[in-house]
């Protein structure tokens, strides 16, 4: 653990512990598995300054070959100027900086709340994966009927897991974390 990230890593551990409980609670709806990278293939991956610095701390530990692939990926994204893009840190369908990934990546796969308070389904719901059995494809909404019909044990809870919510957790204040400016990943790179 480096001194610079000491409190940040304590905070990350507490976020991970909370997220583990959320994943466990909704486990009957979740099909995340090694080798699936759908969440990393079409996004903008917003993060704060400290998350970015931590991400680059992970990058520093990679070998020259991996670093070179990531640099090429970044160049390609910049040239193509797309709003949504495949994360440059994704190599062979795996996150090359997994332990250093931003908050948003840690929440991938769960049912969250969008800015309007509606359920935001993971992108894989339309591919027959997480929460797909209760996803009403026509209304793009959670179907209480399907929860009942499929005999699920719990009604899925919608969690508020935006970066803003995470950065305002009491633990962040307790640890005096300065998150800095937040923007899209590619705008940091």
CB of 185 to ligand SF4, least distance (A): 8
Q: Which is nearer to ligand SF4, 32 or 158 (CB)?
A: 32
CB of 103 to ligand SF4, least distance (A): 10
CB of 170 to ligand SF4, least distance (A): 25
Q: Which is nearer to ligand SF4, 58 or 113 (CB)?
A: 58
State the burial class of residue 111 (Cβ atoms within 10 Å of its Cβ: 0-12, 13-18, 19+).
Answer: buried
Q: Which residues bind ligand SF4 (CB under 6 A)?
A: 40, 45, 87, 89-90, 95, 97, 101, 105
Report residue 96: phi and psi, to 5°: -75, -15
Q: Which is nearer to ligand SF4, 85 or 142 (CB)?
A: 85
CB of 71 to ligand SF4, least distance (A): 15
**Within 13 Å, how many C-alpha atoms sit on residue 5's CB side?**
17
Cα separation of 180 and 88, whole Å?
22
Residues 6+ apart with CB under 8 A from 182: 46, 47, 48, 49, 163
CB of 187 to ligand SF4, least distance (A): 15
Cα separation of 162 and 183, whole Å?
13
Q: Which is nearer to ligand SF4, 101 or 125 (CB)?
A: 101
Q: Is 81 left (phi over 0), alpha (psi -120 to 50) or beta?
A: left
Q: Which is nearer to ligand SF4, 90 or 120 (CB)?
A: 90
């Amino acid at each position: 653990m480096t001194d610079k990230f000491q409190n940040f890593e304590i905070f990350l551990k507490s976020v991970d512990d909370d997220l583990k409980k959320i994943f466990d609670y909704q486990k009957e709806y979740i099909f995340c598995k090694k080798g699936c990278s759908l969440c990393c293939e079409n996004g903008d991956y917003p993060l704060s300054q400290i998350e970015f610095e931590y991400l680059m701390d992970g990058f520093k530990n990679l070998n020259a070959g991996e670093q070179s692939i990531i640099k090429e990926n970044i160049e390609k994204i910049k040239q193509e100027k797309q709003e949504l893009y495949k994360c440059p840190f994704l190599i062979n369908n795996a996150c090359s900086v997994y332990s250093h990934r931003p908050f948003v990546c840690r929440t991938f796969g769960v049912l969250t709340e969008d800015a309007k308070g509606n359920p935001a389904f993971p992108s894989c719901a339309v591919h027959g994966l997480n929460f797909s059995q209760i996803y009403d494809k026509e209304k793009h909404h959670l179907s209480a009927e399907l929860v009942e019909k499929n005999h699920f044990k719990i009604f899925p809870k919608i969690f508020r897991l935006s970066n803003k919510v995470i950065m305002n957790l009491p633990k962040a204040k307790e640890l005096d974390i300065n998150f800095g400016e937040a923007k899209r990943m590619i705008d940091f790179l």
